[in-house]
Amino acid sequence: RNIKLIANEEALIDSVIKNHPERRYIATTKGYWYYYESENTKDTLTPKRGDVAFFDYEIKDLKNRIIYTIADTKPQVYYVDKENIMMGLRDGIKLMKKGETVTFLFPSHMAYGYHGDDKKIGTNEPLICTVSLNDIKVDTQAKN
């Protein structure tokens, strides 16, 4: 059942990607895709475990209908790998550099999965998340 579910979701995501040939989507080994709305090519620093990531994001369904606006999700302060957030965001944030805006296409197993979010996101719903990483506060206590 899960294999069939993932295959269906991947087909839906694939059609979103094919409908936007102007975007350079990047596939990840974790099973989601992303493209840069705005890329920071000057910096190399990305959030690591223990750092604090300050970001904004919105969530849409695969038909591009907004589920949660940036105002709904309010500015996020996330202690990287030390707090429980959506699995896809947890991984995707670590790919980003300060000042970047990235749009992620998450299959449901990287989003809210079978359970949904008990509000607006249903069972097994793939999502489009557009994330702006506003700042990174490096964990100075981290042991290298």
Would you give the DSSP letter of residue 69? Answer: -
What is the average pLDDT value for the chain, to the nearest integer?
Answer: 95
Position 142 scores a pLDDT of 63
Rounded CA-CA distance 143/139 in Å is 9
What is the percentage of the chain residues whose pLDDT exceeds 70?
A: 98
Mark 72-104 as b/e (b = at least 16 C-beta within 10 Å).
Answer: ebeebebebeeeeebbbbebbbebbbbebbbbb
Whether pLDDT at 40 is above 60 = yes
Label residue 124 by pLDDT band (50, 70, 90): very high
**Ramachandran class of 131: left when φ > 0, alpha when ψ lies in -120 to 50, beta otherwise:** beta
- Report which of 61, 117, 62 is spatially closest to residue 85, judged by C-alpha positions: 117
Rounded CA-CA distance 48/44 in Å is 12
Whether pLDDT at 144 is above 60 = no
pTM for the structure as a whole: 0.95
Position 44 scores a pLDDT of 96
Measured in whole angstroms, the distance separating CA 104 from the mean position of its chain's CA atoms is: 5
The alpha-helical segments, DSSP class H, found in 21-80 are 70-73
Position 76 scores a pLDDT of 97
The H or E element containing residue 126 is none
